[in-house]
């Protein structure tokens, strides 16, 4: 099976030279370090000659469906998690806070990889080890230099080969390559068109502004509901009137959830909640 997979991927890489393609990664991660709850998300690294997009596979699939039906898309925070867009000059990191979309702009940087001599086989790939310190975490990447793909999941790039596996030393975040798909679409014609049309205009913010936004949301997570001045609620099953929500109780619960799930992939950028 491993040999079969390797030959399929070899054929795909040969056939897509100079074309557009996407890599599918599984991301296993821990947001809740209190209960050590592990989650999985299917992610896509979509590359063409002009741009690189990394986002959830769910977002890509919904984009395709809604383009066929000519419908708008309403995204959720889960679908925006870990989303980055990279062009020739900049890296855009997206954040969804209180139903608003923000993007954090960074100049493209060279990552200081330390390439080791260790070699091992992973799913038929002959991989070499490289390590990296990046924003509060130490990362280990296993890459196959038989494939000259220098882009990897999230912000990681610059290795002389395809990243097959990538994880931090605490194993809070683990990316593993699932497959490579030939893509007939150009990102500029599909994903960016979708992004410009269906996302609310993403506001550009710096790191300090971003942290203030998270703190503001933490201090009043039900602000939007409170502004609606709900007098009573209606039970969908019985049609009976229910008392308005206890926002104090809901706020405490939401704040606990935010604190417990404060384990971002960029650990040094974690917001310090009170």
Q: Are residues 155 and 194 in the same domain?
A: yes
Which is higher by pLDDT, 52 or 79?
A: 52
Do residues 173 and 251 both lie within one domain? no
> pLDDT tens, 66-95?
444 444 444 556 667 888 888 888 899 999
Q: Could you give the 3-state DSSP secondary structure of residue 177? A: strand
Q: Which residue has the higher pLDDT, 200 or 181?
A: 181
Residues 73 and 182 in one domain: yes
Domain that holds residue 84: 21-109+149-204
For residues 206-230, give the mean pLDDT: 90
Is 12 contained in some domain?
Answer: no
Asked, for residue 127, whether it belongs to a domain, the answer is no
Boundary of a domain, candidates 157, 173, 204: 204
Domain assignment of residue 4, yes or no:
no
- Give the residue, 229 or 96, on which the prediction is more confident: 96
218 shares its domain with 253 = yes
Domain count, the chain: 2
Q: Which pTM value belongs to this model?
A: 0.82
Q: Do 220 and 247 sit in the same domain of this protein?
A: yes
When mean pLDDT is compared across 175-179, 182-186, 213-217, 234-238, the lowest value belongs to 182-186
Residue 163 has pLDDT above 90, yes or no: yes
Question: Of the residues 204, 229, 250, which one is the last residue of a structural domain?
Answer: 204
274 domain residue, yes or no: no
CA distances from 50 to 85, 119, 188, 252 (A): 11, 33, 8, 45
Note whether residue 160 is domain-resident. Answer: yes
Which of 19-33, 104-118, 163-177 bottoms out in mean pLDDT, i.e. has the lowest?
19-33
Q: What are the residues whose beta carbons fall under 8 Å from the beta carbon of 115, sequence distance 6 or more? A: 128, 129, 130, 159, 160
């Amino acid at each position: 099976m491993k040999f079969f997979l390797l030959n399929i991927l070899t054929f795909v890489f040969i056939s897509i030279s100079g074309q557009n393609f996407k890599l599918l990664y599984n991301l296993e991660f821990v947001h809740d370090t209190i209960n050590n709850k592990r989650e999985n998300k299917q992610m896509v690294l979509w590359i063409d000659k002009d741009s690189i997009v990394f986002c959830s596979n769910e977002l890509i699939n919904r984009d395709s469906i809604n383009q066929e039906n000519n419908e708008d898309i309403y995204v959720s925070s889960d679908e925006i998690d870990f989303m980055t867009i990279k062009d020739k000059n900049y890296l855009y990191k997206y954040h969804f806070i209180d139903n608003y979309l923000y993007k954090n702009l960074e100049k493209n940087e060279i990552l200081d990889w330390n390439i080791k001599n260790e070699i091992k086989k992973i799913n038929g790939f002959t991989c070499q080890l490289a390590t990296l310190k990046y924003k509060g975490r130490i990362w280990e990447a296993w890459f196959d230099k038989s494939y000259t793909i220098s882009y990897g999941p999230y912000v990681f790039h610059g290795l002389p080969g395809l990243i097959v596996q990538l994880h931090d030393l605490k194993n809070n975040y683990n990316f593993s390559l699932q497959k490579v798909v030939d893509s007939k679409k150009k990102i500029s014609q599909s994903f960016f068109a979708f992004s410009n049309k269906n996302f609310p205009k993403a506001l550009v913010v710096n790191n300090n502004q971003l942290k203030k936004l998270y703190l503001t949301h933490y201090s009043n997570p039900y602000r939007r509901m409170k502004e609606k001045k709900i007098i009573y609620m209606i039970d969908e099953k019985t049609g009976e009137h229910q008392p308005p929500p206890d926002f104090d109780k809901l706020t405490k619960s939401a704040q606990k959830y935010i604190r417990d799930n404060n384990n971002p992939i960029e650990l040094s950028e974690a917001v310090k909640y009170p």
